[in-house]
Structure formats: C-alpha cells, structure tokens
Structure 1
Amino acid sequence: MREIVIGGLFAALIGTTAMASGLKIEVAGEANGTITIDLLEDVAPLHTARITELAAAGAYDGVVFHRVIDGFMAQTGDVQFGKSDGDTARAGMGGSDMPDVSAEFSEIPFDKGVVGMARSQSPDSANSQFFIMFDAGHFLNGQYTVVGRVTDGQDVVDAIKRGTGGNGTVVGDPDVMQKVTVID
C-alpha cells in the first residue's frame, strides 16, 4: 500500500498519472530510421518524467542533433533553440520553460547506447537536452544522469551526421528528430 501512495503522490507532483516505458524517435537526415529507447524510470524518475512530458507534448518534434562528436555522443533536445524550422545558431544553449532537474546519479556506466541528460556545469541543471552514446564514455560516470538505453536502432544513432564545428557543432543541415513518441 505504501508504494501505491508514494507512487500516486509522485505522479501528482510530476503532473502525470503513468510513467512511460520508452521513446520512439524518428530520425531524418544523413541518418534515416527509428531509434527506440527504454527509459529507466526506477533509476532517474524525475528526468524520465521530464523527457516523457516534453515528448508527449510534441516539444521534441523537429529538434535537431546540434552537437555530435564522433566516437563519443550525439546531443539533441534543445526545445527552445533547436527547432529545425528556425534559426538553430543558438541550438544547445536552451531548454524548456520548466525548472531544471536535480541530478539523479547512478551506478550505470556510460556505455554505447546509453542515454544521458545534458547539463551545464552545475550537476542540477538538466532540463530538456539529452545525448546518446556512440561508444563508452566512462569519464561521465557519476557526473551525468543516465535516463535510458537504446534497445533498437543503434545503427541509426551511429549514422547521425557528425559535427565538424567547434566542440562537435553540426555545420550545415543537422539530422532531425522528426517525431518523438512516448511508448508504453
């Protein structure tokens, strides 16, 4: 009974009645296809709730992969400045209009296919941006929040257009998350 009460209270606090089990991301550009992500609600409940809420609202639809570093990761999720139909010059500098989320560090290592939340220098500054690992990056362990894992479509992740600008900035037309759907 205690779990139900706490779960219900948690659901009321985050503004949703059910947690998602994952995301389906339809990607277009140099990479074309679908990425399926298993969200780890038990590991990072606040972060997965944020991603779920933004995806359900359509906020991630049309958002570019603005920072892509070969052998490291592909970053996306700037719902403020990263829309493909706008000026993406500031992509990576914005977030949503919701408050930042405090860190939820875990023992899960940043291996290939792991999804983590991007943040500024403050560990408690994650908002809407996230990244998907191309390869292991264990130097991130305990420094960034793990929110999920790719369960299908790692080949699509691996084909995302790489950045050639400073700090992995994608020059020209970046790949886009055309549609992001919450899956149960």
Structure 2
Amino acid sequence: MPHPLLALADEFVDLPDLICPTCRIGHLTAPKQWVTGGDAATTEAQRQGADDFDPDWITSVFTGILKCPRDTCQERVAVTGAWRVAMPPDGTGPYLDVVRLTYARPALTLVNRPLGTPDPVTTACRAAAEIVWVDPSDAANRLRVVVEELLTAQGVPQTASTRSPGGNRRRIKTHDRIEILAKRKPSNCS
C-alpha cells in the first residue's frame, strides 16, 4: 500500500486524503479555492505579447488552510506551494488550478508512531516531517536519526570499546546497530 503522503510528491488538482497530524483520526478538508495570484513574470508576459499568450504560462504560489472536521480537534494546517493553470487532461473544459505542496504547518504525519513511542523518536519524526517538502534529502537524514533513536530506545549500544590500550570507544554504524537488534530481537526485525 503506498504511503498516504505520496500523492503530495507531485502536482495535484484535488487534495488527496490526508489524516490530521494532531488527532490522527480526522481527514483534512481543503478550502473551496486556494488563495493564488499571478506572479510578476506572468503579468509581464501577458502585457508583452497578448496575442501569443497561453494560459498554461500562468504560474505563482498558493496558500490555504486545511481543517480537521472533528469537533474535538478542529486543527488547522497552513499550506503553501507552487500553483499553475493547466488544461484538463482530456483537453476540454475549463482550465484547472494545479498545485504542488512545499510546506505544511503543523507538519503532516510522515511516520505513524504507536502510543508509547519514546519522546526522542517522536521528536525526530516531527523534525523530518517539518522539512520533507522543502529539502527531501535532509528529511531522509532526519529519518536516519529516527532509526538511531529507536535503536537507542531498544537498548542497542551506540559505541563499542576498541581493542587498543586506554579503552577508547568508537561509534557503531547504524547498519551494524540494526544487525545487533536483529540478533537480539529477531521478531522486531522481520
């Protein structure tokens, strides 16, 4: 089953089904229309060559507030990103507002965490979710921190003593720590 946020990795017309990041039960709803506006380059292109202008050139940014409909939550998530006008796939009908998400606050749930998840793991998950749309590679690094925190919570050592005199310690690589966990608790790693 694909990750629920995968649909946000590309442009979209209709908001995909998103779970509220606060209550983790409600499904966020979008405004009837995003707040958008043409950028200066689009306005200049319209003015310069009105006869040659194509609506597909209209680009800008969008903003909006997603809302959790649950009475006990009512969380609001501010979103922003790139916006453009596009012809429908079938080539008929009115132009569509197409958006690409670049930021959401509070961050959308990137990793589902069960109740009782240690605080450092939860904090690291949130840190990755905060930047996933802005800097995916940095978010991936932050997810590595999630794995490190989870291994620490499972009691897997972070360092090992070296065989040299003086008892120096060296950091154990993440992969090696995962292998240690797999040997100790095989049912957790299958």
Q: TM-score, normalised by structure 1?
A: 0.22
Bigger Rg, structure 1 or 2: 2
Structure with the bigger percentage of helix: 2
Q: TM-score, normalised by structure 2?
A: 0.22
Instruction: Name the structure, 1 or 2, with higher relative contact order (CA <8 Å, separation 6+).
Output: 1
